[in-house]
Structure 1
């Protein structure tokens, strides 16, 4: 992802996280506005602060008539903002994106969010706190092909991958792990890592930079967990889907990550064996 697109993603994320910024930005998307037009969205100081944020981040500008209008960058973000709103009439799904880090998801994939429109959201359940995990487990173990960006390294998730590898002689696993996860596997799951390395049906890649999401794609499913703003993977809230469109969106995201990763060094593999 270019720095330009990454910066726009951050700006979109910040707008979506603020109710008043979203309202004001949407109002200006619909047409040029005066300050008086925008005062209906909140108290004077909150409106002024929101406008200052949008101006400082070059999302809006004041034209020669003294009206607030979209800037060039603002027009680009506006397209993705509208697509986002159109795709999530469900408030829970809206919050799934608003309450997590999304800046590392490529900007063009926000244009394709309609592909996820029929996906499901498993929210954290106090009575069944591991419900999302159980859904993930069932999806993975009923598949014989898996593309995964493994951004967490819990014993439970490692066991599922180990069971997946051992469950079929006709499996295929493409795994993207960052250096931190690799070190964790070396330290605490060395036998599992050797099992992966000894298989011709496993490909392991190291990304150029860490990804703030946990993505899985099987024969007939996709699942996605995002990171919260403290950079913790939110395992309790998971989006998942089984439609062709859902999987297509997920594959685009995986391909983006794969294009920005390198195969695990062969010297490392030989030393491990």
Structure 2
């Protein structure tokens, strides 16, 4: 298949997607049938629309092989189920991005792999925290509070920060038994080795695993047993600790672990 053929086929499929998404009725019908099949009267109650309008939309979706009728029940076809699953994912991705749009718009995303960005919907329940002129350390303090209340940590650390190392060591000392997996580049690892206190507290600690990677990543990611957090670099290359995303649900933790695995597998 040539690139020209691929683009043409994608354009054809785009027209089909556009056909669904530009009609609120067609979209709502797919969503209302996503969980289980329903009779016309049940659909009418859910959508609060007249039968004629609903039947017209159902007929359009039947013609596209997205739903079918079995006796008195309408249900999604396999094609309809797959399309609706991805449509929900698209809606949730949009919601997740829009909810934290200031964070995403102002930072460098180049080191977050495409396959991970496609699953941004997993962060739909994260909290966006930012520092203010009256509280310059708000974001950092929220992070430290969560860090010190954890028992296991996986951290992609892209900066050499005495301040962060101090609290990481506090975590190791105060939360026993504790476990830390630290992912750093060679430059940061060498800096740790040159600091006697850090070398003893981290490199010689049996509860700490240090992984050295080649990339100079522009993301600071923490994943623990009960939270994940993400801070990024500004587009001008400077690290920004004034804005942070914090997630405590299983979807956010899954997203963070998937991102970590991209650099450690």
Q: TM-score range by the shorter chain?
A: 0.5 to 0.7
SS in 1 for 2:98: coil
Distance 1:235 1:144 in 2: 23
Distance 1:229 1:82 in 2: 27
Partner residue in 2 for 1:103:
110
The CA deviation string for residues 207-264 of structure 1, in whole angstroms up to 9 with x for no partner, is: 12111100001110000001111222110100011011111101100111212xxxxx
Partner residue in 1 for 2:180:
173
State the aligned residue count. 183
Partner residue in 1 for 2:150:
143
SS in 1 for 2:156: strand
Unaligned stretches of 5+ in structure 2? 1-13, 20-88
8 Å contact from structure 2 (residues 155, 182) kept in 1? yes
The CA deviation string for residues 101-123 of structure 1, in whole angstroms up to 9 with x for no partner, is: 11111111122111100101111
For residues 179-194 of structure 1, the aligned pairs below 5 Å read 179-187=186-194, 189-194=195-200
In terms of Rg, which structure is larger? 2
Partner residue in 1 for 2:253:
247
Distance 1:81 1:180 in 2: 39
Q: Using the TM superposition, give the Cα deviation of residue 86 of structure 1 relative to its aligned residue in structure 2, in angstroms.
A: 4.0
8 Å contact from structure 1 (residues 83, 111) kept in 2? no
Partner residue in 1 for 2:97:
88
Q: Call closer, same or farther: CA 1:94–1:157 in 2, change over 3 Å.
A: same
For residues 157-172 of structure 1, the aligned pairs below 5 Å read 157-172=164-179
8 Å contact from structure 1 (residues 84, 110) kept in 2? no
Matched, 1:119 2:126: yes
Q: Using the TM superposition, give the Cα deviation of residue 183 of structure 1 relative to its aligned residue in structure 2, in angstroms.
A: 3.1
Report the RMSD for the aligned CA atoms in angstroms. 2.4
Matched, 1:204 2:213: no
Q: Call closer, same or farther: CA 1:81–1:106 in 2, change over 3 Å.
A: farther
Distance 2:162 2:151 in 1: 21
SS in 1 for 2:210: strand
Q: Using the TM superposition, give the Cα deviation of residue 83 of structure 1 relative to its aligned residue in structure 2, in angstroms.
A: 6.7
Unaligned stretches of 5+ in structure 1? 1-25, 32-79, 260-273
Q: Using the TM superposition, give the Cα deviation of residue 179 of structure 1 relative to its aligned residue in structure 2, in angstroms.
A: 2.0
SS in 2 for 1:146: strand
Matched, 1:228 2:237: no
Q: 1:213 aligns with which of 212, 215, 219?
A: 219
Q: Using the TM superposition, give the Cα deviation of residue 84 of structure 1 relative to its aligned residue in structure 2, in angstroms.
A: 4.4
Alignment TM-score, normalising by the size of structure 1: 0.62
